[in-house]
Amino acid sequence: MEKIKIDLSNLDSSFPDTFSQEQIAKGKTSFLKKLSLDAHQFYGGKVQVMPKAGVFGFNWFNVWYTPGVSAVSTTIRDNNDASFDLTSRGNMVAVISDSTRVLGDGDCTPPGGLGVMEGKAFLMKYLGGVDAIPLCIDSKDETGKKLYPIYKATFSGGAIFPVYSFDLGEAIISPKEKTNMPATTIHPVVPKIKIVKLTTVISTPQKIVVNGFSLLTKYETAT
């Protein structure tokens, strides 16, 4: 057996030659689950919030916070669309789930889905440069539909991933109505939706991340 490389590229060949493909598949799954637990424990999760602006001296805290930031608040007060350019909202989405359908493990309780939702946020950032906040909600009734509309002023879009107990589809809000402004739109798949159409008028460069789609899901894109 080979020593497993840090990039896991030789994982298949690390099993005994006598193993069948089925045994290798089961062995890989067991190994990856154990490695995932150890790695998540080591890092304390896999996403974090970090400042992206420079602090060139102690007085710059007066620029990023009070009193300077007051100008940002009043500018947005007079023009809400300015929030997409003056705050992180323009590149921030919410990843929402009630954790009742977590991969193939079913209902994992609200915090139990956090690892998967963190994973989706991780992929959005790593593959698409989109900042995402995982939100696992403790709700299995109609109140869940109200969550994203309440918090939508903070986010550019919402990714509401499959839930079992109720349909969150009505809570999907497109981030910007004006097509001449850059936007990050997350169009999720919910159980009752079989065909997802991604349609938008693109007048500026856009970035689209297709994340977590089932192999059985049909989707169409149009520009």
Across all residues in the chain, what is the average pLDDT?
74
Closest by CA to 120, choosing from 97, 98, 152, is 97
Enzyme catalytic residues:
65, 120
Domains of the chain by residue range: 12-43, 91-222
Q: pLDDT value at position 207?
A: 54
Q: Does the pLDDT of residue 16 top 70, yes or no?
A: yes
pTM for this entry:
0.67
CATH fold for the domain made of 91-222: Rossmann fold (3.40.50)
Host H or E run for residue 196: strand 195-199
Cα gap 39→219, rounded to integer Å: 34
Three-state DSSP state, 131: strand
Residue 72 in contact with residue 87, Cβ under 8 Å? Answer: yes
Between 124 and 191, name the one with better pLDDT: 124
Average the pLDDT over 129-154 and give the result.
Answer: 77
Q: Does the pLDDT of residue 187 top 80, yes or no?
A: no
Residue 137 in contact with residue 144, Cβ under 8 Å? Answer: yes
Of the candidate ranges 14-18, 80-84, 101-105, 214-218, the one whose mean pLDDT is the lowest: 214-218
Q: Does the pLDDT of residue 223 top 80, yes or no?
A: no
For residue 166, report the phi and psi dihedrals to the nearest 5 degrees: -155, 160
Work out the angle at residue 157's Cα, subtended by the Cα atoms of residues 156 and 159, and round it to the nearest 5 degrees.
150
Q: pLDDT value at position 110?
A: 84
Q: Kindly state the tokens that stand for 142.
A: 């109609």
